[in-house]
Amino acid sequence: MLLTSENYYSQEANRDYLSVSQYKDFMGTYGKPGCEEYALAKLNGTWAENMEDSDALMVGSYVDAHFEGTLDVFKAQHPCMFKKDGTLMAKYLRANEMIQRCERDELFSQFMSGQKQVIMTADLFGAKWKIKIDSYHPDKCIVDLKTCQSVSKVFYHPDTGHLNFLDEWGYYIQGAVYQKVVEINTGKKLPFFIAAVSKEKEPEIQLIAVEQSKLDEALVNVERNTPKIVALKAGRYTPMRCEQCDYCKHTRVLKSPIWSSALIGEV
Ligand SMILES: [Zn+2]
């Protein structure tokens, strides 16, 4: 199957290729546990993500669409965000402030001025992968745009301690896969950057250089986990349920009562 911007997110493409977001559905990140059965249900089309169109989420999507150059399509798909005159409703105006903040910074704009939405594929660790790069500077670097709550927000987990938003949401994994797929296609190992903008009242921007050691570490995990995902997608394993996600809540069938001590698990 030849990937295009039209079929990139199609079910057929998702079944044929592994993507970073699929990988994260299966394996999870610190911020969102993985769930094999949920990931497969999404791929099979038996579970549609309940896109709670929270205002913050919509703001992020609008900013993404702007930098992708797909704002026209986005407007057609989300008419409820706009007033009759075609301008953004008041509660979404933050999106414009974020975009303006990004574009009045010369370096940020330079990083975002590469080739937009570049699709590449590669065989890696026994899977066919697909990636889509926000801003690709051939021979120079790979840049991904991220909207976030706060650039310097700290996430705490008892087993790992304090994490930044890249670790929390699996962006090291994304950087590792993107860098490797580009390297397989071009022979060049390029640095990976995150161009971040926060959704705060005063949007904060930052260009984040991702340490190679972090990418190497993430790629080792991708290598370890990919064969299991390939086997799951091929139906050679019975998927595990996380019993925490919306899919698991929706599909749970009670068999017998549980002890109260099992309610919060091991803390
Ligand atoms: Zn689940």
Q: In this model, does residue 53 exceed pLDDT 60?
A: yes
Name the average pLDDT for the chain: 94
- Mean pLDDT for the stretch of residues 56-62: 91
Q: How far is the CA of 120 from the centre of ligand 1 (A)?
A: 30
Q: What is the DSSP string of 202-232?
A: S--EEEEEPPHHHHHHHHHHHHHHHHHHHHH
Per-domain residue ranges of the chain: 11-250
CA–CA separation, 147 and 58 (whole Å): 11
Ligand 1 mean position, distance from CA 202 (Å): 36
Mean pLDDT of 94-104: 96
In this structure, what token pair is assigned to residue 256? 């017998």
Q: How far is the CA of 91 from the centre of ligand 1 (A)?
A: 32
**pLDDT (tens digit per residue) in 125-167:** 999 999 999 999 999 999 999 999 999 999 999 999 999 999 9
Q: Is the pLDDT of residue 267 over 60?
A: no
Across the range 95-103, mean pLDDT stands at 97
Residue 48's pLDDT band, with cuts at 50, 70 and 90, is: confident
**Tell me, what's the pLDDT at 91?**
86
In this model, does residue 35 exceed pLDDT 80? yes
* CATH fold for the domain made of 11-250: Lambda Exonuclease; Chain A (3.90.320)
Q: How far is the CA of 25 from the centre of ligand 1 (A)?
A: 10
Ligand 1 centre distance from Cα of residue 255 (Å): 17
- pLDDT, position 172: 98
